[in-house]
Amino acid sequence: MEASGNHTSPALPVPQTRKAIEDEIARYLNHVFDLRSRLNTFAPISVLPPEVLSEVFMRMAGPSSYSLPPPWSNSPYGWICISHVCRHWRNVALGCPALWGKLAVTTQHEWTKELLERSKKAPLYVTVDFRTPHARALVRAGGVSPKEKALALVLSHMSRVHSLSITIKRSFPEKILQLLDGPAPCLESLTVRCEDVMHYPGEHDHIHHLLHQPETVRLRHLELHSVYSHWHKTSLPHLTHLTISNKPHHDAIHVAPETMLAAIAQMHHLKELVIESALTAPADYNQVPMASTQASLPNLWSLRLSDTTPNTICLLNHLTTPTLSRIFVEVDSNFQGNCGVISSLP
């Protein structure tokens, strides 16, 4: 005899009886799950078209995602909790490749691989931080850190990277630098930050090569922090934002004011310019450095300078900025003499 209603036949062995009950419970649970899913379709938010719901998810995954309550706010991927709410939300999230294109490279290689697969051919916005003690220990020991493996995987998709931000404590591993040599036709924003000064200029040849590839014509936003660059042979006419900052008292990566002026004079589309402790300290703090280049920046509206007094005067005297609407100037406190008069900016 078979199970009927709430009773089971005593003729069945106990294991088979338990299995029959468990199967029946599973059927009821699946039915309840299905009913709940159907009920969820009547919720006001479920009436939204998938395109609108995807836009809501995109906003949640943006910078405002860090305002989420703990524990989700403790992770760059805390917003993923939205894909666990219900089946419909998960299907919408998985059907939105752009939602998975914002990559904060972690030590989880498999997780990075999964995100790349979900992003399909969507633009990638990559952030990686190599300052963790664990990663540095592996590099010093001659090994390859999990984060390096994950970044190598991401940079293998360099052709669809729109934004790349790399922060490191010390020198870049050669393996990572080589990954920057590939074409980057979609790159619009590049930030390279080194908390300690790089050891020798040759380490930055890969970055210079990336900036000047024929395919890298969409680059508009560039930030270099304590990074050596060949400014005497730099040509980036399409930039709209440039930030250069260095550690004070590290002359090896500083640039002469005349060289800097010659480089930015080619950036006619520049709208924002930030120079902080990036120029070579003058030999005489009572003398403004000589410069022959007059840099005309017709679109510049924001200027921030933080350097020695002579260097600051030199730059301001050789910049033509007819549309400037915001300026911030900070000079060192060691200057005692009179370097001359700063020309009035138009």
Average pLDDT, integer, range 194-202: 61
Average pLDDT, integer, range 296-317: 92
Average pLDDT, integer, range 124-132: 82
Q: Of the candidates 274, 324, 333, 275, which has an alpha carbon nearest to the alpha carbon of residue 299?
A: 324
pLDDT value of position 252? 61
- The identity of residue 142, as a single letter, is G
Please compute Rg for the chain using Cα positions.
29
pLDDT of 344 higher than 80: no
- The identity of residue 247, as a single letter, is K
Average pLDDT, integer, range 103-128: 86
Low-confidence winner among 142-146, 217-221, 316-320 (lowest mean pLDDT): 142-146
At residue 83, φ and ψ (nearest 5 deg) are -80, 0
197 with 250: CB under 8 angstroms? yes
At residue 318, φ and ψ (nearest 5 deg) are -120, 20
pLDDT value of position 108? 72
Q: Of the candidates 243, 111, 250, 270, which has an alpha carbon nearest to the alpha carbon of residue 165?
A: 243
Residues shown for the chain: 346
Of 13-17, 184-188, 204-208, 209-213, give the range with the top mean pLDDT: 184-188
pLDDT of 172 higher than 50: yes
Q: Of the candidates 167, 275, 173, which has an alpha carbon nearest to the alpha carbon of residue 231?
A: 275
pLDDT of 221 higher than 80: yes
Report the run of H or E that residue 120 belongs to, with start and end.
none
SS3 280: coil
Q: Helix 50-60 vs helix 87-94: angle between axes, to the nearest 10 degrees?
A: 80
Residue 321 confidence class, pLDDT cut points 50, 70, 90: very high
- Domains in the chain and their CATH numbers? 101-331 (3.80.10)
Residue 1 confidence class, pLDDT cut points 50, 70, 90: very low
Q: Helix 309-317 vs helix 257-264: angle between axes, to the nearest 10 degrees?
A: 30
221 with 190: CB under 8 angstroms? yes
Residue 298 confidence class, pLDDT cut points 50, 70, 90: very high
Distance from C-alpha of 242 to C-alpha of 4, rounded to nearest angstrom: 77
Of 102-106, 130-134, 177-181, give the range with the top mean pLDDT: 102-106
312 with 288: CB under 8 angstroms? no
Low-confidence winner among 101-105, 123-127, 318-322 (lowest mean pLDDT): 101-105
Half-sphere exposure of 257 (CA within 13 A, CB side): 24
pLDDT value of position 117? 93
Distance from C-alpha of 289 to C-alpha of 263, rounded to nearest angstrom: 17
pLDDT value of position 341? 43
SS3 58: helix
pLDDT value of position 191? 93
In terms of C-beta density within 10 A (0-12 exposed, 13-18 middle, 19 or more buried), how is residue 13 classed? exposed
For residue 340, give every residue at least 6 positions away whose Cβ sits within 8 Å of its Cβ, in sequence order, or none.
Answer: 288, 313
Of 18-27, 75-84, 237-246, give the range with the top mean pLDDT: 237-246
